[in-house]
Structure 1
């Protein structure tokens, strides 16, 4: 083994020249920036090549793929990127090489980090051609000055610079951008570690301020009334309390400004009491309010593991917690689904020869995959199509493409189109491991990450541990080494 020495330490001082270290870091940064410029150019060239192939394609319009989408999917696999990052890389590469000459000059010289260049180019992609040159000049002059002074602007600063420049050069466009931004409002939830989840929201500034004020008021009141916890924890509790439904037939809660049961300006506030009595949302409460609660229990008890409760549209928790929540709820109605984790448990010769996938099978595939199976794509399985890997033969179903678990996977609509009309080859293993071979000959592999796949991993790990325990003795040696006499002594049962 060889060790690479980057900085020699002179004796007897035991220190390196700080200037040498700094210059080495600066040189590495310059090289990294130029490598980023190469990747941006590669994204642009890929789009150009796919566009030429598209022009030569004689298929109907519905069967032709967008060149930028093909470049995105290729880079997501080739560069180990998420589809979101790959899409931004493609957008930036096209913008820089087609309509942003000043940014391109700066990028080619390695003066702008790749991620900053991507942020600038993607934001300028929304600026109309009539003013993009003026806006680019304003923004690049300011950013070049900041970078020369050692101050790298973040994405919010870049957005603010571009917004201010657009408003100066074309106020009408700025107003249209604000209206379009309001259409993009959304709230997303994502499973996190240790039984937690994250929530991300994009709201209008007015709505966000009203929500912030509501949460801050409730958390402050709870703190004053002696509820334990930090303010961050109390804010989280106040937000969760908004999920509590009023019992059937009960009027909306008191509006703080308008008195008992009075709505002010048509606004109704949720049923959240102020102070230390912040109510906690429960599964039973949500079910009683008419919300559909579907819960899948993956049957692992037969293999020595506790059953794991999986919420079809959410995260997971313990079976004991769920029972407690339901017992404390008011007339909760919950649908349980017991799933056998064995591969192919729902397969049957009859269903294999039918093109239509049963709801139970589709749900099983979604629970196995968790997300779209294309490399780098994180679209939730519930928003994906369940697709046959080997196309179903409608003329003679017995010739291939059966409707069976080993031949089904989740693909979002854009990657479903890529599979159907593109040139990649797809192979799926019995446990859902997917291998995609591109037209360049590269192979990319993805594994299912849904709750059913996680349960299988747990079972497999448990079984391997038990096998290792039988194979390796307490002294750490093999109990049945090669060459040992495997004949069973007389009188010992099998």
Structure 2
């Protein structure tokens, strides 16, 4: 097992270092002007790596950062990583905890120590590895020790898919906000009649939807026609969510689950319960869809495209449909508004396609069933199929073959339309490092050793 583990570490190290080498090489080829673009050189590299490895742009960007750091900042640690002697958990901690070091000589000394000592840290906890790296850093460069942020700055709420149609909500918030939230759940849970069959805990959970909609009461489920809470007001500002389901599921003829974008399958019984208070909008069948005259798709066509694709169509990207734009494969009006020529891209990949696709860049081809094939400038091809059609095969029926022309060449002023950054990534990083070092310096001077 130990040998297999070492081989696994070495294999991932080779991938990470290859990503880093690719990143460094591409960065050297970029111009300063492009670094101010919203979709800058880093995003372009992340798009290509994400397509090659089939991973999201955030994960690709993360691997780029780790690989670049091992090549440019901690090369000796990178060597032992390549040998499979150090696990990625240790590597990630070492890179993060040394990120504020700006002196090349100091960094080289710590790199040498890390390469020598890190192989013995694989079985240690993350906290212990952090302490050991910080011990090295504080010896050579006390201003570079990363300190914990104020807890308040780390406040957050997370909503993630669960199992069997459920989801998980967790986070960390200010105490007064938590108290207000807790009290409001109790208040809403108490607006039903005493015969409601749910427990208090269940009612508090079910109160989330009316709370989000700004309602003062919540529906009672006792089922009695004489229920005193039967007149509970409907939310004044209902929250809109989209659930995709077959007609047979909605009317109770099938147990096929529905699909909640971003969260996954939900039981048929839940779908049927939701339809009692929901607006139903039919998704057009492929044979009924035709070319439309306007740039913006009709509501029906947009609904079909979002249900067919489910997510951004860039290889490896899983941004849900509600966060995506509808893109023309061949720019309108050269290409029609039609399901065989439209698909979803998240905003970043939409900008990427707009400014980096064409005769000298990436080339895309869309088939009548929604399949997309990208060809990179280096000639590599990547194909994605509509995710929604994998859950609802009827959406994969070809919608007609289009005689699409090639995308027209870009105009001379296209670059002017790219949204710009105020600062480049490198400038942002330099500002952050200097800020953290300044804070550390003040703290260190106020409480010098011995502490």
* Fold match (TM-score > 0.5): yes
**1:440-455 → structure 2 map (5 Å cutoff):** 440-450=378-388, 454-455=391-392
Q: Which residue does 2:347 correspond to in 1? A: 413
Q: Which residue does 2:11 correspond to in 1? A: 35
Aligned residue-pair number: 369
User: Structure 2: how far apart are the matches of 1:119 and 1:438?
Assistant: 34
Q: Give the conservation status (yes or no) of the 8 Å contact 2:210–2:235.
A: no
User: Structure 1: how far apart are the matches of 2:19 and 2:396?
Assistant: 42
Q: Give the conservation status (yes or no) of the 8 Å contact 1:102–1:137.
A: no
- Deviations along 1:128-158, whole A, 9 cap, x unmatched? 344898799889968976752661535x666
Name the SS for the 1:335 alignment partner. Answer: coil
Q: Which residue does 1:437 correspond to in 2? A: 375
Shift in alpha-carbon separation, 1:85–1:137, aligned structure 2, 3 A: farther
Shift in alpha-carbon separation, 1:457–1:34, aligned structure 2, 3 A: same
Q: Confirm or deny that 1:151 pairs with 2:123.
A: yes
Instruction: Report the Cα offset of residue 47 of structure 1.
Output: 1.6
Instruction: Report the Cα offset of residue 317 of structure 1.
Output: 4.8
TM-score of the pair, normalised by structure 2: 0.62
**1:196-275 → structure 2 map (5 Å cutoff):** 196-199=165-168, 201-204=170-173, 239-245=205-211
**1:320-469 → structure 2 map (5 Å cutoff):** 321-322=270-271, 324=273, 334-340=278-284, 342-343=285-286, 345-348=288-291, 351=292, 353-393=293-333, 397=334, 401-422=335-356, 423-450=361-388, 454-456=391-393
Q: Confirm or deny that 1:292 pairs with 2:236.
A: no
Relative contact order (C-alpha < 8 Å, sep 6+): which is higher?
2
User: Structure 2: how far apart are the matches of 1:197 and 1:98?
Assistant: 44
Q: Give the conservation status (yes or no) of the 8 Å contact 2:90–2:118.
A: no
User: Structure 2: how far apart are the matches of 1:157 and 1:200?
Assistant: 29
Q: Which residue does 1:5 correspond to in 2? A: none
Name the SS for the 2:286 alignment partner. Answer: coil
Instruction: Report the Cα offset of residue 213 of structure 1.
Output: 9.2
Q: Which residue does 1:474 correspond to in 2? A: none
- Deviations along 1:252-308, whole A, 9 cap, x unmatched? 9xxxxxxxxxxxxxxxxxx99xxxxxxxxxxx9895353134656656559x97597
User: Structure 2: how far apart are the matches of 1:94 and 1:300?
Assistant: 51
Q: Greater shift after overlay, 68-77 or 408-417?
A: 68-77
Q: Which residue does 2:142 correspond to in 1? A: 169
TM-score of the pair, normalised by structure 1: 0.58
The structure with the larger Rg is 1
Instruction: Report the Cα offset of residue 382 of structure 1.
Output: 0.8
- Deviations along 1:206-248, whole A, 9 cap, x unmatched? 6898799999x99xxxxxxxxx99xxx9978754444454999
**Unmatched 5+ stretches in structure 2:** 188-196, 220-230, 398-451
Name the SS for the 1:38 alignment partner. Answer: helix
Q: Confirm or deny that 1:188 pairs with 2:159.
A: yes
Q: Give the conservation status (yes or no) of the 8 Å contact 1:388–1:409.
A: yes
- Deviations along 1:331-370, whole A, 9 cap, x unmatched? x5x4221123x2263423xx2x422233443333222211
User: Structure 2: how far apart are the matches of 1:39 and 1:286?
Assistant: 57
Name the SS for the 2:378 alignment partner. Answer: coil
User: Structure 2: how far apart are the matches of 1:287 and 1:141?
Assistant: 65
User: Structure 2: how far apart are the matches of 1:354 and 1:118?
Assistant: 50
The CA RMSD measured in Å over matched residues stands at 5.2
User: Structure 1: how far apart are the matches of 2:212 and 2:149?
Assistant: 40
- Deviations along 1:435-470, whole A, 9 cap, x unmatched? 2222333322222223x652235998xxxxxxxxxx
Name the SS for the 1:337 alignment partner. Answer: coil
**Unmatched 5+ stretches in structure 1:** 1-24, 219-227, 253-270, 273-283, 461-494
Name the SS for the 1:75 alignment partner. Answer: helix
- Deviations along 1:94-151, whole A, 9 cap, x unmatched? 1222223453343244321245424543x348x4344898799889968976752661
Q: Give the conservation status (yes or no) of the 8 Å contact 1:76–1:86.
A: yes
Q: Give the conservation status (yes or no) of the 8 Å contact 1:428–1:434.
A: yes
Q: Give the conservation status (yes or no) of the 8 Å contact 1:296–1:338.
A: no
Q: Confirm or deny that 1:77 pairs with 2:43.
A: no
User: Structure 2: how far apart are the matches of 1:51 and 1:41?
Assistant: 15
- Deviations along 1:306-331, whole A, 9 cap, x unmatched? 5976667866656765554566xxxx
